[in-house]
Amino acid sequence: MDDCIFCKIINRDIPSDIVYENENVLAFKDITPQMPIHILVIPKKHIESIVDLKDGDEILVGKIFTAINKIAKDTGIDKTGFRVISNCGEDAGQTVKHLHFHILAGEKMGADII
Ligand code: 5GP
Ligand code: ZN
pLDDT at residue 112 in the model: 72
Q: Show Cβ contacts of residue 106 under 8 Å, excluding neighbours closer than 6 positions.
A: 35, 36, 37, 77, 80
Which residues have their alpha-adjacent CB atom under 5 A from ion ligand 2? 1, 4, 6-7, 46, 98
Distance between CA atoms of 92 and 71, rounded to whole angstroms? 25
If you measure from the C-alpha of residue 57 to the centroid of ligand 2, how many angstroms do you get, rounded to a whole number?
A: 15
pTM more than 0.85: yes
Predicted pLDDT of residue 24: 98
Residue 44: the pLDDT is: 98
- Atom index in ligand 1 nearest the CA of residue 38 equals 10
61-95 per-position pLDDT tens digit: 999 999 999 999 999 999 999 999 999 999 999 99
Buried b (16+ CB within 10 A) or exposed e, 50-87: beeeeeebeebeebbeebbeebbeebebeeeebeeeeb
Partners of 27 in the beta sheet? 20, 41
Q: 87 in ligand 1 pocket by Cβ < 6 Å?
A: yes
pLDDT in tens, 24-64: 999 999 999 999 999 999 999 999 999 999 999 999 999 99
Collapsed DSSP state (helix, strand, coil) of residue 17:
coil
At a CB cut-off of 8 Å and minimum separation 6, what does 10 contact? 26, 42, 44
Instruction: Give the residue, by CA position, lying nearest to ligand 1 atom 24.
Output: 31
Say yes or no: CB of residue 86 within 6 Å of ligand 1: no
**Antiparallel, parallel or unpaired: β 37-43 and 82-85:** unpaired
